């Protein structure tokens, strides 16, 4: 008799042995493939490998890089072409600053099946026998430019839906019906452009239709809220500030109302005073503040900093500080909303609504430099000085440079602040006391208000250098001016002209800096006072690198001169290129080094001459 249990055990052993043998066979086969691949493709990428659409299997690193580069170059000859609503459009790859990294892509492909664990590498190598191993192309592009392009198309093609709203017309609150719209699908085109860049293939969709867009608030929904809205928007509101009254009409109030499907759709809406099952009504704080900003222009006054001078070796006030005032926009809009909410709650019907008056909150604004805190500013000593000679200047020029110096004197620059000469000067015209005088403009010397101010900026520039401050903006004149070359030669001038160019410096000292200027009979001086931190400044140069002689004289015929008469209107100017190196040290270390390069154009002498023949005289 046969033992059934014995047969079952023998069968089980055969299954186990067979399974182990099969597994060992698979492992031996896989190991053989792994070993063969590792040896056979030691210097090349494993077969059936793609980078994007480019087959790089069995290629060396150099060959793969070449294959990828060739495919990329072919793709870059084209542009992304598509159509929106049958209007043909294109986007050049240069506009997106697309940059492909063929070497990195090839390197990653070579590492596929090599850089993982033994099991991971084996799966990749064996898997490559069944289906391709594919890596994305390594590339970068300017995402901001792509977004700007898509936004431009939306602006061009979109017809946004319009929710139903209200309008105050002829003394009545009316419902403005909703309107359906259509919008360009930005996300779809963005995804397909990126896919095209990665796969080096044309866009998959040639024509992009506009999608219908449905309003979220309908006229019927708004009509259900009309009784509530009328209780808020049918009576005017008077706002009072600094003795002035500002009447907000029902029309304006209705514009402040916001009707929304959900509160999170309108983040600027505050005080939802009524809702029904579908929509809610509140106040658009952004619109209210926009209205208040127009009022603020009549109310706000900037604070005035104290102006200082140096007297008996210490800073003293010659112009006291003054508080300013400003409409508190946040608080004012909140109080308006609160008042309108009270109006709504107290008025059961439209007839119950009353006109109200609200006094707007105005806050004091303090000056940065207060008259009582002068001693705390750290203005202890002279830290920089510059002087230039203006002898021989016309009267108007002398007047203008003295006037400009007046506007800069007494200005305070706080630690870490960038000082702008143009900003400090303000308007340059007759209203600020300037006279017409010659200025350099478009390679000519012509009369304008403020001629001579460049001597002010040049003198201040030299005081800045003497103080060891960092110059953040400076421009030389377009041609050489003798006033600025006395004692130093060409290369240390600084021109200003509203709004550009400007002369700017950074106060990187531990204390405030006081700008002080004064004019004597022949000289203009700027002094900078503050707190010395032990820095020293040195200027190597200016050195003239090259010179250019003036071009040939230029003659222009003028009917204002007699025949044969000649009048010189421009002197010749030699051109030059100069350089000056500015080094600032503290405790034996260089803390700032700048090179000021100046290029001056060579200009010809210009003359006016009378016509060659006398002008015919009319006969009697």
Question: Phi then psi for 534, rounded to 5 degrees?
Answer: 90, 5
Residues 115 and 228 in one domain: no
Residue 246's pLDDT is what? 94
Task: Judge if 385 and 349 occupy the same domain.
Answer: no
Exposed (0-12), middle (13-18) or buried (19+): which is 467, by Cβ within 10 Å?
buried
32-36, 68-72, 96-100, 501-505: segment of lowest average pLDDT? 32-36
Residue 195 lies in a domain: no
Q: Check: pTM over 0.75? Answer yes or no.
A: no
Confidence of residue 268 (pLDDT cuts 50, 70, 90): very low
- If asked whether residues 357 and 504 sit together in one domain, one would say no
Evaluate whether residue 157 is within a structural domain: no
Query: Is residue 397 helix, strand or coil?
Result: helix
Return the DSSP state at 521.
S
Looking at residue 620, its pLDDT comes to: 42
- List strand residue ranges (DSSP E) for 133-268, in order: 133-135, 139-140, 165-169, 172-176, 181-183, 207-208, 211-213, 237-241, 244-248, 257-260
Q: What is the 3-state secondary structure (H, E, C) of 173-200?
A: EEEECCECEEECCHHHHHHHHHHHHHHC
Domain-located, residue 233: yes
383 and 333 inside one domain: no
Same domain, 533 and 458: yes
Whether residue 17 is contained in a domain is answered as no
The pLDDT of residue 267: 43
One domain, residues 64 and 85: yes
> CB of 218 within 8 A of CB of 164?
yes
Q: Which residues contact 519 (CB under 8 A, 6 or more apart)?
A: 398, 401, 402, 405, 525
Q: Which residues of 592-604 are buried (b: 16+ CB within 10 A; e: fewer)?
A: beeebebebbbbe
H or E stretch covering 386: strand 381-389
Domain boundary residue among 365, 400, 418?
365
In a domain, 429, yes or no: yes
* Domain-embedded: residue 5: no
* pLDDT of 526 higher than 80: yes
Last residue of a domain, one of 330, 365, 400: 365
DSSP string of 262-280, one letter each residue: SGGG-TTEEEEEEE-SS-E
Confidence of residue 356 (pLDDT cuts 50, 70, 90): confident
Decide if 505 is inside a domain.
Answer: yes
Each residue of 357-390: pLDDT tens digit?
A: 999 999 999 887 777 777 778 788 899 999 999 9
Q: Are residues 46 and 69 in the same domain?
A: yes
pLDDT at 166: 83
Residues 264 and 352 in one domain: yes
> What's the CATH code of the domain at 264?
3.10.20.800
Higher pLDDT, 201 or 445: 201
Model pLDDT for residues 393-422, shown as the tens digit of each residue: 889 999 999 999 999 998 889 999 999 999
Q: Give the residue-averaged pLDDT of 29-41.
A: 63
Q: Can you give the residue range of the structural domain that contains 261?
A: 224-365
Q: Residue 465's pLDDT is what?
A: 97
Kindly indicate the confidence band of residue 619, based on its pLDDT and cuts at 50, 70 and 90.
Answer: very low
| Between 152 and 117, residue with greater pLDDT | 152
User: Does 145 have pLDDT greater than 90?
Assistant: yes
Q: Are residues 483 and 590 in the same domain?
A: yes
Taking each helix axis from N to C end, the angle separating 395-408 and 453-467, rounded to the nearest 10 degrees, works out to 50
Whether residue 402 sits in one domain with residue 308 = no
Weakest mean pLDDT among 18-32, 90-104, 213-227, 394-408 = 18-32
For residues 287 and 391, state if they share a domain: no
More confident position, 470 or 49? 470
Total domains in the chain come to 3
Residue 495 lies in a domain: yes
- pLDDT single digits (tens) 528-558: 999 899 999 999 999 999 999 999 998 988 8
Please write the tens of the pLDDT for every residue from 482-504: 889 998 999 999 999 888 999 99
Give the CA distances from residue 311 to residues 8, 208, 256, 316, 518, in Å, rounded to whole numbers and listed in that order.
116, 75, 56, 6, 13
CA distance 266 to 264: 5
Domain boundary among 344, 365, 386: 365
566 shares a domain with 596: yes
Out of 8-17, 50-59, 313-322, 487-496, pick the least confident: 8-17
40 has a pLDDT exceeding 50: yes
**220/164 Cα distance (integer angstroms):** 9
Q: How confident is the model at residue 61 (pLDDT cuts 50, 70, 90)?
A: confident
């Amino acid at each position: 008799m046969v033992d059934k249990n014995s047969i079952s055990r023998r069968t089980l052993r055969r299954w186990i042995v067979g399974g182990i043998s099969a597994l060992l066979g698979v492992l031996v086969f896989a190991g053989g493939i792994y070993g063969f691949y590792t040896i056979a493709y030691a210097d090349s990428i494993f077969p059936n490998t793609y980078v994007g659409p480019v087959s790089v299997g069995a290629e060396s690193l150099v060959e793969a890089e070449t294959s990828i580069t060739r495919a990329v170059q072919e793709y870059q000859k084209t542009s992304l072409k598509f159509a929106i609503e049958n209007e043909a459009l294109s986007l050049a790859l240069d506009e997106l600053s697309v940059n492909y990294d063929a070497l990195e892509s090839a390197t990653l492909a070579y590492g596929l099946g090599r850089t993982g664990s033994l099991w991971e590498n084996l799966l990749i190598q064996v898997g490559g026998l069944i289906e391709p191993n594919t890596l994305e192309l390594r590339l970068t592009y300017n995402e901001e430019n792509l977004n700007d392009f898509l936004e431009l198309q939306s602006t061009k093609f979109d017809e946004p839906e319009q929710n139903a709203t209200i309008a105050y017309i002829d003394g009545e609150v009316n419902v403005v019906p909703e309107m359906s719209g259509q919008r360009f699908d930005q996300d779809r085109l963005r995804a397909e452009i990126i896919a095209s860049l990665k796969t080096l293939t044309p866009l998959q969709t040639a024509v992009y239709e506009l999608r219908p867009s449905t309003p979220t608030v309908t006229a019927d929904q708004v009509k259900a809220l009309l009784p509530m809205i009328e209780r808020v928007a049918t009576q005017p509101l008077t706002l009072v500030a600094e003795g002035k009254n500002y009447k907000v009409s029902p029309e304006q109030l209705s514009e402040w109302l916001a009707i929304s499907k959900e509160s999170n759709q309108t983040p600027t809406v505050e005080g939802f005073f009524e809702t029904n099952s579908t929509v809610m009504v509140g106040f658009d704080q952004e619109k209210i503040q926009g209205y208040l900003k127009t009022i603020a222009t009549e109310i706000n006054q900037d604070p005035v900093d104290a102006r200082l001078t140096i007297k008996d070796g210490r800073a003293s006030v010659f112009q006291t500080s003054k508080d300013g005032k400003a409409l508190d926009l946040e608080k004012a809009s909140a109080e308006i909303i609160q008042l309108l909410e009270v109006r709504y709650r107290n008025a059961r019907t439209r007839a119950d609504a009353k006109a109200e008056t609200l006094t707007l909150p105005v806050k004091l604004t303090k000056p940065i430099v207060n008259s009582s805190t002068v001693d705390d500013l750290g203005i202890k000593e002279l830290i920089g000085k510059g002087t230039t000679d203006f002898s021989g200047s016309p009267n108007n020029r002398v007047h203008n440079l003295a006037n400009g110096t007046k506007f800069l004197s007494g200005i305070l620059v706080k630690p870490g602040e960038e000082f702008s000469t143009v900003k400090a000067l303000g308007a340059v015209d007759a209203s600020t006391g300037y006279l017409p005088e010659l200025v350099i403009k478009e390679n000519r010397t012509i009369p304008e208000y403020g001629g001579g101010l460049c001597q002010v900026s040049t003198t201040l520039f030299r005081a800045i250098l003497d103080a060891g401050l960092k110059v953040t903006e400076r421009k030389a004149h377009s041609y050489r001016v003798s006033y600025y070359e006395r004692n130093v030669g060409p290369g240390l001038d600084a021109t200003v002209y509203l709004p550009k160019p400007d002369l700017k410096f950074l106060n990187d000292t531990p204390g405030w800096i006081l700008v002080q200027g004064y004019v004597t009979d022949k000289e203009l001086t700027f002094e900078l006072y503050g707190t010395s931190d032990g820095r020293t400044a040195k200027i190597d140069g200016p050195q003239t690198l090259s010179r250019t002689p003036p071009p040939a004289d230029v003659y222009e015929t003028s009917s204002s001169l007699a025949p044969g008469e000649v009048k010189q209107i421009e002197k010749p100017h030699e051109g030059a290129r100069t350089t000056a190196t500015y080094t600032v040290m503290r405790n034996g270390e260089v803390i700032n080094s700048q090179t000021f390069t100046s290029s001056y154009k060579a200009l010809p002498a210009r003359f006016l001459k009378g016509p060659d023949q006398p002008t015919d005289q009319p006969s009697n």
